[in-house]
Amino acid sequence: MKKVISALGLLIATAGSAFATTYPLTIENCGYKETFTKAPERVVALGQNTVEILLLLGLEDKVAASAFWPTKVLPELAEKNKKVKTLTVEIPTLESILAQNPDFVPAQLPLLLGPESKVAKREDLATVGVNSYMSPGMCATKKEIGDMYGSRQKLWDMSFLYKEIEDFARIFNVEDRGQALIADFKKREADLRAEFSKSKKDLSFVFWFSSSSPSSDAYVGGKNSASGFIANVLGGHNAITSETEWPTVGWESIIAANPDVIVVSSLDRNRWALDNAEEKIKFLKSDPAVSQLDAVKKGHIVVMDGQAMNPTIRTIYGAEQIAEQLRKMGLN
């Protein structure tokens, strides 16, 4: 992984200045138009994905603060992230955001910014003259009242992420860096698809994010979510058929689906005991019914960074993380 980041850093460092942003710049984003008269200087980034994209683009000096971290920052970005103040690893308040005197507030999730957000609506920021941005992939979901994350009728893919990277690169006048980052991700996805298309195993996956307790239903990645994308990249499919982004599914339904591989998330947030990957695996192996699943009996349980189950840059890292474990199991 370090070699990949190092190579990307070299690309960014040596890229020419073929692109240059002309200000004022107007960006269309999720039904809003945001006009930038210059590159932002004080960003408060809401959501791990948003921060990590900005850091990968070498914009750590522009990011004043961040919030909402399900897992730790990529190790390769740890030094850069030290320059960024963490407001909270959970959901911040609007007051704490505005206290940083931001001129730009981009967000990863509607939970953090939007009509039903507990933090702020985009109009709240516009009122005080602050530009905002929402991850394009989250605007592609169909939402019902009370459903924060919505559902997807079409499989998520990296094009949403590339749009986000391109937009940030234009906003901050670093388009060469954006193109280098996108080229890196495209190659990594293509390499995985080429490798896993050869076996034609069509493995079925269940991606277990977490549960509030062993007796509770499991929060899993929906059919067309980032989890479904990972399954597709690895030549398989999501055993969960719900189009809801984050359905809660009873273990009876998971047993009936009988997946070939169970992916358990590793989370650093420690909100629930089952955020921990080891606790999930302990449950899978000890529950009288769940332990009889073929995937459990064969040891086809793999661990993946929980942030990769969100539609983020971590998704391709998660696919690589699973791929490495599948190779060891002879499932590539």
Whether 15 has a pLDDT exceeding 50, the answer reads no
3-state secondary structure (DSSP) of residue 133: strand
**Lookup: tokens for 210:** 């977490």
Preceding peptide of 70 cis, ω within 30°:
no
pLDDT bracket for residue 149 (50, 70, 90): confident
Please state the rounded mean pLDDT for residues 127-140: 94
Alpha carbons 248 and 245: distance in angstroms, whole number: 10
Q: 1 and 56 in contact (C-beta within 8 Å)?
A: no
Whether 197 has a pLDDT exceeding 80, the answer reads yes
Alpha carbons 184 and 179: distance in angstroms, whole number: 9
Alpha carbons 307 and 305: distance in angstroms, whole number: 6
Of 57-61, 144-148, 157-161, 265-269, minimum mean pLDDT range? 144-148
Whether 101 has a pLDDT exceeding 70, the answer reads yes
Alpha carbons 161 and 49: distance in angstroms, whole number: 10
From the centroid of its chain, how far is CA 172? Answer: 22
pLDDT bracket for residue 8 (50, 70, 90): low
Residue whose token pair is 């960006």: 27
Condensed to tens digits (0 to 9), the pLDDT of residues 169-179 reads 999 999 999 99
The pLDDT of residue 2: 46
Please state the rounded mean pLDDT for residues 88-96: 96
Contacts of 303 (CB under 8 A, 6+ apart): 263, 264, 265, 266, 277, 281, 321, 325
What amino acid occupies position 239? Answer: A
The pLDDT of residue 75: 95
pLDDT bracket for residue 270 (50, 70, 90): confident
pLDDT bracket for residue 118 (50, 70, 90): confident
> Which alpha helices (DSSP H) does 20-93 contain, by range?
48-56, 78-81
The pLDDT of residue 144: 76
- Mean of pLDDT over the chain: 93
| Residue 31 zone, left/alpha/beta (φ > 0; ψ -120 to 50; rest) | left
Condensed to tens digits (0 to 9), the pLDDT of residues 25-55 reads 999 999 999 999 999 999 999 999 999 999 9
Whether 3 has a pLDDT exceeding 70, the answer reads no
Please state the rounded mean pLDDT for residues 214-232: 96
**Lookup: tokens for 329:** 């199991």
The pLDDT of residue 146: 64
**Lookup: tokens for 152:** 């997807």
pLDDT bracket for residue 9 (50, 70, 90): low
Alpha carbons 102 and 97: distance in angstroms, whole number: 7
Please state the rounded mean pLDDT for residues 6-21: 57
